[in-house]
Copies of this chain bind each other. A is one copy, B any other.
Amino acid sequence: MKNFRLTIQYDGRRYSGWQRQGNTDKTIQGKIEQILSRMIGHAVEINGAGRTDAGVHARAQIANVKLNTDRTARELMAYLNEYLPADIAIHACAEMPERFHARLNAKGKCYCYRLCDGNVPDVFTRGYVCAWETRLDDDRMREAAAYLIGTHDFRAFSSVHKRFKKSTVRTITALDIERNGKELWIFVQGTGFLHNMVRILVGTLVEVGEGKRAPQSMPDILNSRERQQAGITMPPHGLMLEEVFY
């Protein structure tokens, strides 16, 4: 039995997210498992590091898969790329020790949210950048971001509705906002994320950038632990899973 680590890039627009849902073909995990299962001759399961939502992209999602095969990592990568659709690609493949698990061993992740604010967006990146009509005040946004870095209960920034017992405490290790020509790139790095957390964090920062919220209001939102105190959930297509750390 070999244990392979796959580095997977995908354009999430056509998919209902990373995680397999029953027999649907419209997930990234499902697509890859389907090809591997056909190659091996029985059902195969892969473990992805992060469960990206419907419409969210990944530059370097990491997954591992255990396979009883003679193929080398290089051959496996070539096989997958031959059968994968044009919007999913394996960019690296390596054989790992048996104990390596893409999700359980992940130490952190970095997401990037791209916005084009107050300018006509480029047509070439329209699937990966959220167009925002007004120019945002990125200095204000940085001021607000500073309150969010660190270990906090991020329940207000999560779209889980049911009462749940699992901890909603997470650690954000970095939150950088860079102006890149006519775009704002918001990098959020942390050890783990709640459902929709990055998109709600960005939505709240955008409202700060519009002047609708004060940067100093972030601690109150955190302390409220109420979803309705935070900002909007940004659309998925501006979000990219950039990197997984081990």
Interface residues of A (CB under 8 A from B): 9-11, 57, 59, 77, 81, 86-91, 120-128
Contacts and interface: CB of A to CB of B under 8 A. Distances in A.
Given A91-B120, A120-B81, A120-B91, A86 B126 contact: yes
Nearest to A85: B123
Contacts of A10: 123
Interface of chain A: mostly helix, strand, loop or mixed: mixed
Nearest to A12: B123
Contact of A120 (B59, B90, B123): B90
A128 B125 CA distance: 11
Nearest to A57: B124
17 contacts: A9-B123, A9-B124, A10-B123, A11-B123, A11-B124, A59-B124, A81-B120, A86-B123, A86-B126, A87-B126, A88-B123, A89-B121, A89-B122, A90-B120, A91-B120, A124-B125, A124-B127
Nearest to A119: B91
Contacts of A91: 120
B86 A122 contact: no
Closest 9 CB pairs of A and B: A11-B123, A89-B123, A9-B123, A89-B120, A87-B123, A91-B120, A86-B126, A81-B120, A124-B128
Given A11-B123, A11-B124, 14 more contacts: A9-B122, A9-B123, A10-B123, A59-B124, A86-B123, A86-B126, A87-B123, A88-B123, A89-B122, A89-B123, A91-B120, A124-B125, A124-B127, A124-B128
Give the residue among A57, A59, A120, A126 with the most B Cβ atoms within 10 A: A120
Contacts of A128: 124
Contacts of A86: 123, 126
A122 B88 CA distance: 9
A156 to B, nearest CB: 32
A87 B126 CA distance: 8
Contacts of A127: 124
Contacts of A87: 123, 126
